[in-house]
Each structure stands twice: as structure tokens, then as C-alpha cells.
């Protein structure tokens, strides 16, 4: 039976791993080391680690793959193929040379568009009409390997990074199981990427979620969806962080200064550099999430105030 080493870390990777476990012999699971998270800095296991432990899969958490000891250790698993899904570490050539069928990456974009660590929020933020999953042979570059296959899906008007991640992870799992038999038999001819069409992403940072109200309402609405659930799109209300988790665009300009909170009929909106952002779900620091209407009723001075 085909021996597979799987490498992945976040929730996106779990359906891919689960599909492999159901169809193949997963001899080892590699994931990133545990990291402190949250205000209390408690050490948190990755979703892939949690799955591996639940299913009694051999688990490895090396800090690096660039030393000979790790190369030799992986070689002991004698993998036929390595499958990667959002692992978080680049594989050096010494690792890529180990499996006789090479290494495959499950990437959440239509390569060469959106190479790198954050393809899903970048696609939403750019206003892309569609995205998808690409299966590619891994080389030493960052998502530069030859393409085995790709499949597109539309980005819905209300898709967030959270909802789109779930869709793409399931798509990636299905696509991998469909293609892997022919790939292992040598029936698939990889296609080189057009590097001239490549676009890059980077890791999303906390500060990326900070709203600048002189931007257009359309762009800010994309921010709200792209940075949901993390780091969230946020602004400042009377010196306290104010998160916006759901909003829509009203294609109507307001004479008020960008950031001014408006009453628009029964709705609550904010003036922007172009158009009005209608607020639906909001959360003030230390408080529960609620509808913007409920928040405004409890905060009488909210309408007319200015978000910073």
C-alpha cells in the first residue's frame, strides 16, 4: 500500500489528511511546533496535531527541516510520496529527493495567482470573482512547482476567510483523492507555471485589520470578510477597539467626514472615502458581539460619533 507522509498545520489541512487516512497508509504526520496563543499565552496544539493524536498517527514536530538529522529521520518512514497542505515550512531539496514519487502541495488558490502564506484573505481583499485549489509538484521555490491539476470555485458575496477556507479544504481533499491514483501511476503530465502572471501574498499581521476610513466602503467591506475570523477588521471608538464582523456597502456618498457614524433609515452606517459602509454585527472591546442596531440603542451617542 502506498506510504504517505503528510505535512500540514491549520484547519485547512485537516480534511486533506482525513481523506488520505481513509484511502491510503499515512505513515507519519508532520506539523508545526506548538505555539502560545491568546492573552494568556497558553500553548495550543495545531488542528492537524489534534487530528493525528485522535487517530493514533505517528507525529513529528521538527522546528526545522534543514538539518541532516531530520532528513535521515524522515527517510526512515520510507515514504512513496509526501503530501503537503499549509504546513508552514519550506521543504529543502534534500527532503524533496526522499520520496520516489516526489512531493505534492495542496494550495488554496489558482496558481500562479496568490502564491505564499495567505492566499484566501488576499483573494477576498482583491475582490477576485473566483479562487480554487491547485495541486502542484513541490520544488524549492515558494509555490513555484509544476501544476498537476486545479479546480475553481466562485467567491460568494458573503464569503469570509473562514467560510472560504472550509470550502477550499473540502475541495482540496476531493481533488487529491481523485488525482492521486493516476499521479502515482505516472499518468499525469505536470504543467509549468507562468511566472509572469504570479502574484504574491504574505502572512497576515494583526495591524492589517485596522480600518482606514478614507478608503472606499467596497474595500473596507472586503477587509471585514478577508480578516474574519482573524485578526478581524477593527477601528477605535472613544479609545477602545471596536470590531466589525459583518457589513455591506451602500453605494451612496455622504458629506460627513470619513469615519462618522450615520443613521440611515433603520440602519447604522459609516461614512467612508467613497460610499457608506452599513454595519450589521459589531463588538466593543470586552463586550459581547451584537447587531449594530442593538449597539446603537444601548449607546445613544454612537450615531454622530467618529470612528478613528
Q: What's the mean pLDDT in 246-261?
A: 94
By CB neighbour count within 10 A (0-12 exposed, 13-18 middle, 19+ buried), where does 158 fall?
exposed
Residue 231 in this model has a pLDDT that exceeds 80: yes
Task: Give the per-residue pLDDT at 300.
Answer: 83
Banded pLDDT at 39 (limits 50, 70, 90) = low
Domains of the chain: 3-197 (3.40.50.170), 206-298 (3.10.25.10)
Q: What is the pTM of this model?
A: 0.94
pLDDT in tens, 129-165: 999 999 999 999 999 999 999 999 999 999 999 999 9
Q: What's the mean pLDDT in 229-234?
A: 96
Residue 209 in this model has a pLDDT that exceeds 90: yes
Q: What's the mean pLDDT in 43-47?
A: 89
pLDDT in tens, 97-131: 999 999 999 999 999 999 999 999 999 999 999 99
pLDDT in tens, 178-189: 999 999 999 999
Task: Give the per-residue pLDDT at 40.
Answer: 62
Give percent above pLDDT 90 in the chain.
92
Amino acid at each position: 500500500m502506498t506510504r504517505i507522509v503528510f505535512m500540514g498545520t491549520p484547519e485547512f489541512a485537516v480534511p486533506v489528511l482525513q481523506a488520505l487516512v481513509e484511502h491510503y497508509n499515512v505513515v507519519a504526520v508532520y506539523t508545526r511546533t506548538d505555539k502560545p496563543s491568546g492573552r494568556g499565552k497558553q500553548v495550543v496544539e495545531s488542528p492537524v496535531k489534534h487530528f493525528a493524536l485522535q487517530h493514533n498517527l505517528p507525529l513529528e514536530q521538527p522546528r526545522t527541516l534543514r538539518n541532516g538529522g531530520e532528513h535521515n529521520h524522515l527517510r526512515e518512514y520510507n515514504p512513496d510520496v509526501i503530501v503537503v497542505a499549509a504546513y508552514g515550512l519550506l521543504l529543502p531539496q534534500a527532503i524533496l529527493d526522499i520520496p520516489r514519487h516526489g512531493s505534492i502541495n495542496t494550495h488554496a488558490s489558482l496558481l500562479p495567482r496568490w502564491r505564499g502564506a495567505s492566499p484566501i484573505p488576499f483573494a477576498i481583499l482583491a475582490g477576485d470573482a473566483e479562487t480554487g485549489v491547485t495541486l502542484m509538484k513541490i520544488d524549492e521555490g515558494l509555490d513555484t512547482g509544476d501544476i498537476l491539476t486545479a479546480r475553481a470555485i466562485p467567491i460568494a458575496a458573503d464569503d469570509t476567510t473562514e467560510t472560504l477556507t472550509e470550502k477550499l479544504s473540502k475541495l482540496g481533499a476531493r481533488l487529491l483523492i481523485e488525482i492521486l491514483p493516476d499521479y502515482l501511476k505516472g499518468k499525469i503530465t505536470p504543467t509549468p507555471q507562468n511566472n509572469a502572471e504570479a502574484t504574491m501574498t504574505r502572512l497576515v499581521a494583526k495591524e492589517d485589520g485596522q480600518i482606514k476610513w478614507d478608503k472606499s466602503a467596497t474595500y473596507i467591506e472586503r477587509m471585514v470578510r478577508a480578516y474574519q475570523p482573524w485578526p478581524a477588521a477593527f477601528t477605535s471608538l472613544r479609545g477602545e477597539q471596536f470590531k466589525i464582523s459583518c457589513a455591506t456597502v451602500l453605494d451612496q456618498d455622504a458629506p460627513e467626514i470619513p469615519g462618522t457614524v450615520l443613521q440611515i433609515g433603520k440602519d447604522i452606517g459609516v461614512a467612508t472615502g467613497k460610499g457608506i459602509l452599513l454595519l450589521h454585527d459589531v463588538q466593543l472591546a470586552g463586550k459581547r458581539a451584537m447587531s449594530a442596531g442593538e449597539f446603537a440603542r444601548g449607546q445613544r451617542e454612537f450615531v454622530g460619533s467618529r470612528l478613528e
